[in-house]
Amino acid sequence: MSITPNTAESRVRQQARAAKQAAQFLATTSIELRNSALEAISEELIASEQAILAANALDIEAARLEGVHESLIDRLMLNPERLAGCRQALAELIASSDVLGEVVEGRTITQGIHMKQVRVPLGVVGMIYEARPNVTIDAASIAIKTGNSILLRGGKIAQQTNDVLVEVLRRALLKTGLPEEALQNLDARSRDSADELMKLHGLVDVLIPRGGAGLIKSVVENSKVPVIETGTGNCHAYLHKAAEPEMALSIVMNAKTQRPSVCNAIESLLVDRSVADILLPAILAALADAGVTLVCDEEAKTIASAQNIPEGMLLDASEEDWGTEYLDMTISVKVVSGIDEAIAHINAYGSSHSEAIITDDYAAAQKFTTGVDAAAVYVNASTRFCDGGLFGLGAEIGISTQKLHARGPMGAKALTSTKYILEGNGQVRA
């Protein structure tokens, strides 16, 4: 591999090379230096708040002119409260301990050689994300905390906001004596920068897509850079025959209606046939009252119909519904013969994110948690708890639904690898 830069190479490739160079320096930095960079970021965010909000206002105006949906405008928007929230997250990140240098295992091996497996930065992180500028700050901060460089490719409707944010972040690095090349902002105005980023196997160590199912699928299928697949959440709540009715109702309501557009909300309700008549009436009525459309199999529909649920709120489920992540006030409902069918159904249709059972039966709880193949399984608790902060991981980069490297809510450790260090005094292999 030549180390001479090719003048014809893409801008993204040049940015990746610069980031890789910077990462080699970052790998040698102390936690004190990295934390002071994060403190400098916090200070610069305060000092530049007006400039950040001004750029954000330009992005919002342009987005409105283009007819972007209000819910997306809301995700794009920054304000003093949201920026304060980012600084709070930064403070918690600064306070968190260093994951680098952890000795994962170590022992004295053959012939007295001392071996240790230590935690090290990944190197260069790539993030392709849709228009949520707080992700720019969060991701850059976690990257710096863990000694990584980062290539940020945000959504094009947030370009001006992200341009200013990355300038601000880079200023903080310079102030601290760290290379500003560690933070690279990619031009999101065309698709090319994402396509190019996905080719950079060898320069970029991991690519994390955050956004809708289409974005994630595209990155997972096309990237030559290793990907950590995040967060589509086709989550289920399964009401086992030994479910306590009040608990079932309150968990289902919380998991569906509290924030229906997030990945850890449930999309599907499964109920044991032997208790469907006992549990479903109150639950389906409460869901419909709250404005949730019920997409039911025949048995659930029969029960729902007896609850005076308005016709428009009660639909027939097709097989496609079992695999659908509605991300809104809609839920599919299926009556199952028992726990075996529930587990098989979840394993077939779920997205391996968060799956809950409500039951007072010990053996059923054990069977469910062992048999369901998902990042997180819950007994008698809402799937809405699936969150890095709540899990005690500190910062959260995203929620991985894949099995390799990281699974479930991803904290700082997800941006690290390990290295074996062997120290001898002249040993050769016999």
Q: At closest approach, how far in Å is the CB of 408 from a copy of itself?
A: 5
Report DSSP letters for 230-283, one per residue: B----EEEEE-TT--HHHHHHHHHHHHHSSTTSTTSEEEEEEEHHHHHHHHHHH
> Could you tell me which stretch among 64-72, 149-157, 268-276, 413-421 binds a copy of itself (CB under 8 A)?
413-421
Give the residue, chosen from 181, 205, 325, 396, that forms a contact with a copy of itself under the rule CB under 8 A.
205
Q: At closest approach, how far in Å is the CB of 306 from a copy of itself?
A: 27
Instruction: Indicate whether 214 belongs to the interface with a copy of itself (CB under 8 A).
Output: no
In the block, residue with structure tokens 């007994």? 379
Q: At closest approach, how far in Å is the CB of 377 from a copy of itself?
A: 6
In the complex with a copy of itself, which residue's Cβ is closer, 104 or 306? 104
Q: At closest approach, how far in Å is the CB of 310 from a copy of itself?
A: 26
Task: Return the closest-CA partner of residue 165 out of 39, 63, 78, 62.
Answer: 78
Taking CB under 8 A as the criterion, which residues in 105-164 touch a copy of itself?
A: 107, 109-110, 113, 115, 117, 122-123
Contacts of 78 (CB under 8 A, 6+ apart): 52, 53, 56, 133, 134, 161
Give the residue, chosen from 142, 151, 186, 251, that forms a contact with a copy of itself under the rule CB under 8 A.
251
Task: Return the closest-CA partner of residue 243 out of 288, 287, 274.
Answer: 274
Distance CA 415, CA 397 (A): 9
Q: At closest approach, how far in Å is the CB of 243 from a copy of itself?
A: 11
Residue 364: strand, helix, or coil:
helix
Instruction: Indicate whether 6 belongs to the interface with a copy of itself (CB under 8 A).
Output: no
Neighbours of 176 (CB within 10 A): 18
Give the residue, chosen from 230, 271, 384, 396, that forms a contact with a copy of itself under the rule CB under 8 A.
384
Q: What phi and psi, each to the nearest 5 degrees, are found at residue 373? A: -95, 85
Give the residue, chosen from 365, 395, 397, 410, that forms a contact with a copy of itself under the rule CB under 8 A.
365
Instruction: Indicate whether 417 belongs to the interface with a copy of itself (CB under 8 A).
Output: yes
N-to-C CA span, the chain: 33
Chain-centroid distance of CA 394 in Å reads 13
Distance CA 33, CA 178 (A): 8
Task: Return the closest-CA partner of residue 379 out of 390, 370, 388.
Answer: 370
Which amino acid would we find at residue 69?
Answer: H
In the complex with a copy of itself, which residue's Cβ is closer, 4 or 308? 4
> Could you tell me which stretch among 44-52, 69-77, 219-227, 300-308 binds a copy of itself (CB under 8 A)?
219-227
Instruction: Indicate whether 32 belongs to the interface with a copy of itself (CB under 8 A).
Output: no
Give the residue, chosen from 131, 270, 336, 376, that forms a contact with a copy of itself under the rule CB under 8 A.
376
Q: At closest approach, how far in Å is the CB of 301 from a copy of itself?
A: 22
Q: At closest approach, how far in Å is the CB of 387 from a copy of itself?
A: 8
Instruction: Indicate whether 371 belongs to the interface with a copy of itself (CB under 8 A).
Output: yes
Instruction: Indicate whether 244 belongs to the interface with a copy of itself (CB under 8 A).
Output: yes
Task: Return the closest-CA partner of residue 220 out of 237, 208, 238, 212.
Answer: 208
